[in-house]
Amino acid sequence: MRTVRWCLVAGLTAGLALTGAPPAAATQPGAAPGDPVVRGIDLELATVLDLQDAMDRRQLSSVHLTGFYLSRIRTLDPLLHAVIETSPQALRDATASDLHRRRHGARSPLEGIPVLLKDNLDTAATARLHTTAGSFALLDARPDQDAFLVARLRQAGAVVLGKANLSEWANFRSTSSSSGWSARGGQVNNPYVLDRNPCGSSSGSAVAASAHLATVTIGTETNGSIVCPASANSTVGLKPTLGLVSRSGIVPISAQQDTAGPITRTVTDAAAVLSVVQGVDPEDPATGDAADFVDRDYLQALEPDALAGKRIGVWREPAAENPEVAAVLDDAVDVLRDRGATIVDNVELAGLDEVLAAQLPALLVEFKHDLNAYLAATPGDHPADLAGLIAFNNEHADLELPFFGQEIFELAEATGGDLTDPEYLQQRATATNGAQAMIDDAVAAHDLDAIVAPTNNAPWLTDLENGDDFTGFVSSSGPAAISGYPNLTVPGGYVRGELPLGVNFFGGRFSEPTLVAVGFAFEQATQVRRLPSFLPTLPEPAGLPAPAGGAAG
């Protein structure tokens, strides 16, 4: 199965200020950064639970940790363009967290933990951080409160370190975009090989987590924009069930598919973050349906032997035309079997083509409706609606349209944005009901605990002039994304020496505890992830001459 361009385009396919970073993809080769060690603690090996223990013992403080990341961002982010801006209040917030710990103890496993937020998550104007979706059009927007999940993070004692770069407007602007590019932040670069693409709209979040620019990060997904960048940067990405995490205060594509979730280096950290950010929000009706599920502690699911006795279905179709991806999937299946899982091979998910065909027209209607509502409710000096954004981009084409256009914006504007239109309602029902049925039917038919699939193919060369290269593209995000069901990607391997690949675990509605358990057991058995290499480009294979003009870069 090959995914058409817009499926990833939706991001899909959906202190230090870096505002105005030049929109260029050129890397700046240099020596690899030092190992991520602070106060004798190797952050590549430490989970948030280890950091809590170190802070309780006074070996480490939130101020130490926050200062380390701010310094590393200053040093390393010119290579990566993963961070749009850092919070001028971060060290003050870290100091407050340390004081709270001394006086009252930690409020949660995220007490004092620095978190980077994707730049489509509202932060109140009083926080002195912008919320722009990567566009200069929202530079003077002034949200009057934090997004619900941001408020949950603050209440848990987490330190908001700043905003991560992203594909502008969550990659729902152009059919020929380069994933990871925004007007404000420039092009995000993959930390393993800098001329490779980071994938998906939560690219800055994934790169920042992978390269140790924050302990944990938050991304958002409509279809693929948590799991694809997480996979492409050898991190863990967890897209929750729709409604488990509030969408209030998030620049939208579609209330029918949008959700936020953690991107981290370990399943442990993802479980800790999800345990904090879940919750019922009176402003988001979808969270009401999750009321029976929002008090689960996902850290309780972390059992190394959790695969024993599980029934895991293997969805091979996404890798059918990509041997290197199929090989990584084969290795993953061998691990699952060796750790006691019963493997049900070659599971079919029926009806995917029809679901994908209905998704895009539904999203176009939803995007116009939901974005116009967001803009109308957001204080500040900014375009009032989608039509105004299109006009802004045309008027500032040198900033906003230097490499690709806004065809998706124009397609969405041409719709009525009417969520009561019968044709739209049929398209949405076809997409959502079909995606839910394909997962539910497969799970029921084979008595499955989860389904495993390759997350995506190896990162491609970034090309701002021509956009993303989807030749032989692999994606398994569609069924979980369109159904609103959970999806967890875990590092699965590397191809050509340096290019990361992940494996997805997905299942039925609110099956997060099972997915976390299975993903953790797989992670502990494989220990695949390694530190990024920061190579400027892949070396030529031995024995082959370099192309004319030198290596690509």
Query: Domain for residue 51, yes or no?
Result: yes
**Cα 370-142-18 angle, rounded to 5 deg:** 100
Query: Considering the domain boundaries, does residue 552 fall inside one?
Result: no
User: Structural domain tally of the chain?
Assistant: 1
Residues of the chain with pLDDT under 50: 1-30, 543-553
Q: Which domain holds residue 81?
A: 36-526
Q: Tell me if 384 is assigned to some domain.
A: yes
Tokens for 294?
Answer: 């929002």
- For residue 305, the SS3 value is coil
pLDDT, tens digit (0-9, with 9 covering 90-100), for 204-255: 999 999 999 999 999 999 999 999 999 999 999 999 999 999 999 999 999 9
- pLDDT of 552: 27
Helix, strand or coil, per DSSP, at residue 513: helix
Residue 360 lies in a domain: yes
Beta strand 311-314 with 450-454: parallel, antiparallel or unpaired?
parallel
Compute the distance between CA of residue 455 and CA of residue 504 in angstroms, rounded to an integer. 5
In the prediction, which pLDDT does 6 show? 36
Quick check: is 6 in a domain? Answer: no
Residue 31 lies in a domain: no
Rounded to two decimals, the pTM is: 0.93
pLDDT at 32: 61
Asked if 120 and 114 count as a contact pair (C-beta separation under 8 A), the reply is no
| 79: CATH | 3.90.1300.10
Q: Is residue 16 part of a domain?
A: no
Q: Which residues are catalytic?
A: 118, 201, 225
Q: Determine, yes or no, domain membership for 217.
A: yes
Strand pairing of 236-239 and 487-495?
antiparallel
